Amino acid sequence: MRQVVFLIQTADRKGLLAEISSFFYNSGFNILQCRQFSDVRAERYFMRIALELNAEITRRELEEAFAKFAEKLELEYSVHHLEAKQNVALMVSKASHCLYDLLMHADEGDLVCNIPLIISNHPDLEYVADRFNVPYFCCPMEKGKKAEQEAKVLELLRSHRIDLVVMARYMQILSDDFIAHYPQRIINIHHAFLPAFQGGNPYERAWERGVKMIGATAHYATADLDEGPIIEQDVERISHMDTPEDLKQIGKDIERRVLTRAVRAHLEHRVIVSGRRTIVFS
């Protein structure tokens, strides 16, 4: 079955569900799933609608017809055809837990994507890539040569036709220019429950503050460090007996599951970005 997903947002008003669903029904499409959300406070309407492609109409004809319809209703939208797997690049440094989790879920088919390469600023995790038979590229970060290193990484991403970049504990700050090449297509995992403890050493600072709960946050990378739209979060309770090292160990499990859930939501086209926020459909 060939499927297509439309992600739609617009100013909220009466009749949107009826008008949009009627467009697809009258065009001969079978609606497989429809999720909608009206943000009363922001006066915005959001929809994710999945369709079975009609054999009598081409992709181009569908998109041209919907573009005219969307212009009339002032809809912002994106179209996603599901038969082609997305190419995902994993970027890592020295921590392996998120990398293992993503590779395992992709290998078992829980994450529907291709992972054509892993990029790192250290050689340490090449053995993990070898276990999953994924090419590993080490691009060291030398002092004063950040632009050159990022240029090499960008060329690797271009040559492998990458759709999504996942920073699976890649402990480098990406430049604004790098991020601009993949807007809303770079997912980062931050080892804290944002907006608390932004930046470096969050577990140490959480311990110093005496928090009773730690978490992790997966978000889209933006020019503002750790300020991108949040996709997924989770937490675990801790106690006064836990050391900073204990927090790091507990946090590993939170980080891997949060990042994998965020990547899955993106790959399944369930995320709509609205300003600094996201709408994530089930």
What percent of the chain stands above pLDDT 90?
86
Q: Which domains does the chain have, with CATH numbers?
A: 3-81 (3.30.70.260), 86-280 (3.40.50.170)
Average pLDDT of the residues in 228-236: 96
The residues that are catalytic are 226
If you ran DSSP here, which 8-state letter would residue 229 be given?
P
Give 203: exposed, middle or buried? Use CB within 10 Å, 0-12, 13-18, 19+: buried
Query: Does pLDDT of 264 surpass 80?
Result: yes
By CB neighbour count within 10 A (0-12 exposed, 13-18 middle, 19+ buried), where does 247 fall? buried
Buried b (16+ CB within 10 A) or exposed e, 136-171: bbebebeeeeeeebbeebbebbeebebbbbbbbbbe
**Is the torsion defined by CA of 74, 265, 27, 43 positive or negative?**
negative
Rounded Cα gap, residues 196 and 1, in angstroms? 44
Residues 6+ apart with CB under 8 A from 21: 31, 34, 49
pLDDT for position 2: 85
Q: Is the pLDDT assigned to residue 122 strictly greater than 80?
A: yes
**Bond from prior residue into 195 cis (ω within 30 degrees of 0):** yes
Q: Is the pTM of this model over 0.75?
A: yes
Q: What is the pLDDT of residues 176-226, one digit of tens each?
A: 999 999 999 999 999 888 878 888 888 898 899 999 999 999 999 999 888
Residues 121/149, Cβ–Cβ less than 8 Å: yes
The length of the chain is 282
140-172 pLDDT, tens per residue? 999 999 999 999 999 999 999 999 999 999 999
First to last CA, the chain: 21
What pLDDT does 175 receive?
96
